[in-house]
Structure 1
Amino acid sequence: MSFRFLKRTHQCLPRLNWLMPIRRYAKQPQYDEADIFAENINHGAYKAKKRLSKEHFQWPEKSPDQISKESELQWERMAKLSAVGQGILILFVVGGLGTAYLRWPELKSWWLVKMNGGRINAVQEQNGQDSLEKLIRQKAKHLLREIPQVPTFQLGIDHPGVYIWGRCHSKDSLFPIRVPNLDNRKFRDILLAPSDDFNTNFALDEKGDLISWDDLGQTKTLLPDQDLTSMRYSSDYLYALNKKGEILVIPIRTPNLIASKLSSRRSKLLPWKTRQIYAWKLPTSQVFNGKKGENRVVQFDTGNHHLVLLSNLGKAYSCATGNDQKQAQVSRGQFGMPTLSQFDEFPPNNELFEIELLNKFKYEGDDVVHRREIKKIACGSYHTLAIDQHGEIYAFGWNRFGQLALPISYNLEYVSFPRSVMHAFKPHFPGMTNWKCVDIHCDDETSFVTIRQPKSSSKSDYHYFAFGNGLFGELGNNTFKNSQYDPIKIKVDDKRLKNWSCGSHCVFSETEQENEVLAWGNNDHGQLGIGKKTVKYAKPMNIPEVLKPGQDTTDLESIYNSSLHLAKHQRVITNGIKSCIYWQV
């Protein structure tokens, strides 16, 4: 009986080990499964499995077509690899040769030093200096080839006419060239070729007639007897303001359509004289309040597909530009109306809308609507700036590059209603409250603002700011930034600027006292007129004087060290590809 009890207890011990652990002695041997099976794994005989048949060691038979296709694919892969290798080799060779060409003086001097055991005598040093002087002379000769020789019989800068430079005559001109057939002529306004595929310039002569002219001076009258004062280009159409305060819509690409809008009218006082009447005008009478005396346009500007105008009462209106058919465009907020945002249908062409949120406002907690008087507007490609009578700045439109002085974000990429942006300039005037904006200008994607503050507060009471796209140096602060929403100061050394002209990534201005021309921005065609084809300049700089008839062009120092000063009635303008100087009436 006791034996059975001991046996049963011994069988239950492993199961009760987790409840009542058994005491083990230090010298008691312990085993696990790995130790038990290790002997068989390490020393056991290995027996490979036998294959069922010999078919597994035989390659499948292929047809001749398959063999030929495989060989063609293999040759094709080898040809591609060979072409890639040859391309890489050519790149290395061309890069090496180019580097050697650019650094030839250094390589030559290094070779001379190496061949002389690390020493160089006076003769060799003189030879190196001679080679450098030779390179300088070659560069000077290259510059001389780019400097045109002005004939002695040609009129000088003191006589009225037109000078043009940049991308003109189907080539790049680095210095202003006088346009033939336009001598002794003055103009009210000039518009250089508005697009790359339409290389025709336009001008308003002394009588206000619209004429077209090419870079060689060949002219043609397009629209006579209209008494035009200024013009802008948008959506392949020309918009011109006459002295009556009307804006004419001129399809410059279709002269036949212009002729169809003209009609003759005989003068009542002088019956033997006739006058041309142009019928296509913006319908301002539909939106102007004639009862309050609102009856004419005093200023306007255009973007790529929009126009903004100011009436004589300081009210702003906008419209889409182009022909009278539906355009497949998307609004970017450039119209200044919440109902014409990027989510809404594009408005009809040449139909004016009042920008009510710019013309009217209410004080917080007040139900009375007040009228805001707008003093000036300026348009970029898809954005607009405006100044009111108190010098406050408002902006609306596209803000991808920060051209509205608003933070760049998804919610602020398109701003379809006017917003005050005065807060962006407060960090530049800490503790001051009586500063205000007095001037605005717009490039395609860049904005320029002039702020005036009391004269007693600093050396200069005028400060110039830029914000937006500065990839080509348009910001004028010696940096190249793709986007800049915080206004930054333009480095103009306390000079007062006037008569701005902003083209596509190219800016011109004049100083107030000396009429000295400053330029900055893109210069890939020599449109800055600095006499060099450097890609871009990020700081306002002087441009050389216009070459005089019979001037010695070998004196490079006197040419490049001079600076251009305009006369009282001379103006400089640009379209971003070429620029010109003309005499204004």
Structure 2
Amino acid sequence: MSLRLLARSQQLLPRRNWFFPVRQYAKEPQYDEADLFAENINHGAYKAKKRSSQDQFQWPEKSAEQVSKEAERQWERMAKLSAVGQGILIILVVGGLGSAYLRWPELKSWWLIKMNGGRVNTVQEQNGQDSLEKLARQKAKNLLREIPQVPTFQHGIDYPGVYIWGKCHSKDSLFPIRVPNLDNRKFRDILLAPSDDFNCNFALDEKGDLISWDDLGQTKTLLAGQHLTSMKYSSDYLYALTRKGEILVVPIRTPNLIASKLSSRRSKLLPWKTKQRYDWKLETKQVFDTKKGENRVVQFDTGSHHLVLLSNLGKAYSCATGNDQKQPQLSRGQFGIPTLSQFDEFPPNNELFEIELLNKYKNEGENTIQKRQIDKIACGSYHTLALDHNGELYAFGWNRFGQLALPISYNLEYVSFPRSVTHAFKPHFPGLTNWKCVDIHCDDETSFVNIRRPGVIPDHYYFAFGNGLFGELGNNTFKNSQCEPIKIKLNNKKVINWSCGSHAVFGETDHEREVIVWGNNDHGQLGIGKKTMKCAKPMNIPDVLKPGQDTTDLKSIYDSKFRLTNQQRIVTNGDKSCIYWRV
């Protein structure tokens, strides 16, 4: 702005008298700013148009319909504001009442202290202690109702038989209960089949016959004379390994189909005796290399819809499980074969395929293909772990929760071929090379690995990774996914036997053969004597109740520790668990 324009502005706009708040120039003519600055804006004269004070602005007239619509809109806005206000008021009232209910003991104590002039009355304090003691007595009474009274005439834990607990009766059992009609019986293997019929269990007796039994001990022979040694459950079918190294496919839900697969033949040495032959087996001749002596199965494991086995030469094979009909589902990479990925057609049931990328390998820079010997495999619901002779760990299948020890990402959600994951344990042993994997186990979506370091104390380390929402990781945390191996808090205990069910883990230690458990416990399946929803760290279970034991002494019951004998085994399926005597 030029000096000339500023001078003119000072002449036209006299100073204001700050001592008198009344406007002194109300009757003098007013100037428009456009009139003052017109010469500087467009170099032309500008004269503002002023409206006379007599002119009144006329609002346009509205019809009756427009007036009614405006009134309706106004009422709608008011109704919305009223509803919002009422909602906020209801939330505040409900939240306040809920907070008061949850903190009622504190509020009551505060009010009593305030009414007493800030002093705690000894009578009121005694009343509070009495209330706590009353709650403790009520809790003790509830625990006493859950503890069964064992009759004096019943056999004890030192006598062969079967104990069962968890989801096994009309009411969940928190303590092991001896199964009637199974006293003085030993078994090669017991399977608590996960199914809607929670009263269904299976066992292999002393002769290797397959029998079914319920919680009352009523048994029924399903398959006899096959000399079975172990069994697994998958897709409503039971897969059993025979003494000859064959895997039988047993449709346990259709006994008529089992009978149709049986045939009898006379013995050549003893013609007066007949032998039962079961014809439904996994065909291994088409994939085994019989010329090199590969002729039997030494170990196998199953998932929800797949099976992986090892031959006597340490080679791995996999197949889909279930009936002969095509299953309407997609692969999640659990077969370990790239051509059977989630983008391919689901493979035929009970047809074996060799996992070539696991059985063979080629070093970088070499053209010779070498063979890899697999010592052990373990299956989860949709993933598989494999351990070779050199202690290298391989994994394939579903990785949504990190159960393959691989990063959780879209590209690694389904891994359809074996990948080495031994490097995932290196951060726990920085700069060390004298360690290797020696044992593996799998839950539904969780994996467990045993690492050994010879020559140090302790020489065994246990790691878990995958789904830990129910405490399966055993490190006192509840995580939905854990892709990096994390140590299980076992306090330097060595686990010699494992049993993994659906979100529940049992272990037997070498120190006096104590039983430790962790994981889901919504049915009391962990056997800790309490019905807690989850148990996130390994803990001991109380000793089995003895005949005629005083169940009112709660301290002696819960302070005791259960220890297995050499012939006893403990198994679980995640909903219920049992102890049996092994042949």
Alignment partners' CA distance in 2, 1:384 and 1:246? 21
Alignment partners' CA distance in 2, 1:180 and 1:480? 38
Match of 2:503 among 497, 502, 505: 505
**Partner residue in 2 for 1:63:** none
Alignment partners' CA distance in 2, 1:115 and 1:59? 59
1:165 is aligned to 2:165: yes
Specify whether residues 460 and 55 from structure 1 end up closer, same or farther in structure 2 by C-alpha distance, changes over 3 A only.
closer
Specify whether residues 262 and 41 from structure 1 end up closer, same or farther in structure 2 by C-alpha distance, changes over 3 A only.
farther
Alignment partners' CA distance in 2, 1:42 and 1:241? 109
Match of 1:576 among 568, 574, 577: 574
Deviations 1:50-71 (A, max 9, x none): 54x96657869xxxxxxxxxxx
236-245 or 126-135: which moved more? 126-135
Match of 1:31 among 20, 26, 37: 37
Alignment partners' CA distance in 2, 1:531 and 1:208? 34
1:478 is aligned to 2:476: yes
Alignment partners' CA distance in 2, 1:414 and 1:482? 18
User: Aligned-pair distance for 1:147?
Assistant: 0.6
Alignment partners' CA distance in 2, 1:582 and 1:89? 57
Correspondence 1:148-547 to 2 at 5 A: 148-197=148-197, 199-455=199-455, 458-547=456-545
Which runs of 5 or more structure 1 residues have no equivalent in the other structure?
A: 1-20, 61-72
Asked if the contact 1:342–1:414 (Cα under 8 Å) also holds between the matched residues in 2, the reply is: yes
Specify whether residues 56 and 150 from structure 1 end up closer, same or farther in structure 2 by C-alpha distance, changes over 3 A only.
closer
- The one-letter code matched in structure 1 to 2:548 is G
Asked if the contact 2:193–2:233 (Cα under 8 Å) also holds between the matched residues in 1, the reply is: no
**SS where residue 239 of structure 1 aligns?**
strand
Specify whether residues 563 and 150 from structure 1 end up closer, same or farther in structure 2 by C-alpha distance, changes over 3 A only.
same
User: Aligned-pair distance for 1:263?
Assistant: 1.2
Alignment partners' CA distance in 1, 2:160 and 2:208? 17
1:48 is aligned to 2:58: yes
87-96 or 283-292: which moved more? 87-96
Specify whether residues 25 and 267 from structure 1 end up closer, same or farther in structure 2 by C-alpha distance, changes over 3 A only.
closer
User: Aligned-pair distance for 1:350?
Assistant: 0.4
Specify whether residues 452 and 37 from structure 1 end up closer, same or farther in structure 2 by C-alpha distance, changes over 3 A only.
farther
**Partner residue in 2 for 1:565:** 563
Deviations 1:122-159 (A, max 9, x none): 34433332222122111111111111111101110001
User: Aligned-pair distance for 1:413?
Assistant: 0.9
Specify whether residues 49 and 354 from structure 1 end up closer, same or farther in structure 2 by C-alpha distance, changes over 3 A only.
same
Specify whether residues 189 and 37 from structure 1 end up closer, same or farther in structure 2 by C-alpha distance, changes over 3 A only.
farther
Alignment partners' CA distance in 2, 1:561 and 1:42? 101
Asked if the contact 2:499–2:505 (Cα under 8 Å) also holds between the matched residues in 1, the reply is: yes
- The one-letter code matched in structure 2 to 1:31 is F
Specify whether residues 22 and 346 from structure 1 end up closer, same or farther in structure 2 by C-alpha distance, changes over 3 A only.
same
User: Aligned-pair distance for 1:410?
Assistant: 1.0
- The one-letter code matched in structure 2 to 1:122 is T
User: Aligned-pair distance for 1:108?
Assistant: 5.4
User: Aligned-pair distance for 1:435?
Assistant: 1.1
Alignment partners' CA distance in 2, 1:274 and 1:91? 77
**SS where residue 135 of structure 1 aligns?**
helix
Correspondence 1:102-117 to 2 at 5 A: 104=105, 106=106, 109-110=109-110, 112-117=112-117
Alignment partners' CA distance in 1, 2:378 and 2:390? 17
Correspondence 1:78-157 to 2 at 5 A: 95=98, 99=102, 104=105, 106=106, 109-110=109-110, 112-157=112-157
Alignment partners' CA distance in 2, 1:370 and 1:488? 33
Specify whether residues 57 and 453 from structure 1 end up closer, same or farther in structure 2 by C-alpha distance, changes over 3 A only.
closer
**Partner residue in 2 for 1:17:** none
**SS where residue 285 of structure 2 aligns?**
helix
**SS where residue 286 of structure 1 aligns?**
coil
132-141 or 356-365: which moved more? 132-141
**SS where residue 508 of structure 1 aligns?**
strand
**SS where residue 230 of structure 1 aligns?**
strand
User: Aligned-pair distance for 1:271?
Assistant: 2.7
**SS where residue 284 of structure 1 aligns?**
coil
**SS where residue 40 of structure 1 aligns?**
coil
User: Aligned-pair distance for 1:37?
Assistant: 7.1
Alignment partners' CA distance in 1, 2:270 and 2:96? 80
Alignment partners' CA distance in 1, 2:93 and 2:65? 49
Alignment partners' CA distance in 1, 2:241 and 2:331? 25
Specify whether residues 45 and 445 from structure 1 end up closer, same or farther in structure 2 by C-alpha distance, changes over 3 A only.
same
Match of 1:549 among 547, 550, 555: 547
Specify whether residues 114 and 325 from structure 1 end up closer, same or farther in structure 2 by C-alpha distance, changes over 3 A only.
same
Alignment partners' CA distance in 2, 1:532 and 1:193? 24
- The one-letter code matched in structure 1 to 2:38 is D
Asked if the contact 1:169–1:216 (Cα under 8 Å) also holds between the matched residues in 2, the reply is: no
**Partner residue in 1 for 2:15:** none
Alignment partners' CA distance in 2, 1:191 and 1:340? 29
**SS where residue 177 of structure 1 aligns?**
strand
- The one-letter code matched in structure 2 to 1:46 is Q
Asked if the contact 2:168–2:198 (Cα under 8 Å) also holds between the matched residues in 1, the reply is: no
User: Aligned-pair distance for 1:442?
Assistant: 0.3
User: Aligned-pair distance for 1:114?
Assistant: 4.1
Alignment partners' CA distance in 1, 2:399 and 2:535? 24
Asked if the contact 1:166–1:174 (Cα under 8 Å) also holds between the matched residues in 2, the reply is: yes
**SS where residue 212 of structure 1 aligns?**
strand
User: Aligned-pair distance for 1:96?
Assistant: 6.4
Asked if the contact 1:453–1:462 (Cα under 8 Å) also holds between the matched residues in 2, the reply is: yes
Asked if the contact 1:109–1:128 (Cα under 8 Å) also holds between the matched residues in 2, the reply is: no
Alignment size in residue pairs: 547
Deviations 1:395-443 (A, max 9, x none): 1111111111111111111111111111111111122222111100000
Alignment partners' CA distance in 1, 2:494 and 2:52? 95
User: Aligned-pair distance for 1:170?
Assistant: 2.4
Deviations 1:183-207 (A, max 9, x none): 1111111111322356411111111
**Partner residue in 2 for 1:11:** none
- Structure-1-length-normalised TM-score: 0.87
Alignment partners' CA distance in 1, 2:154 and 2:90? 53
Asked if the contact 2:169–2:199 (Cα under 8 Å) also holds between the matched residues in 1, the reply is: no
21-30 or 538-547: which moved more? 21-30
Matched-pair identity in %: 74
Asked if the contact 2:333–2:342 (Cα under 8 Å) also holds between the matched residues in 1, the reply is: yes
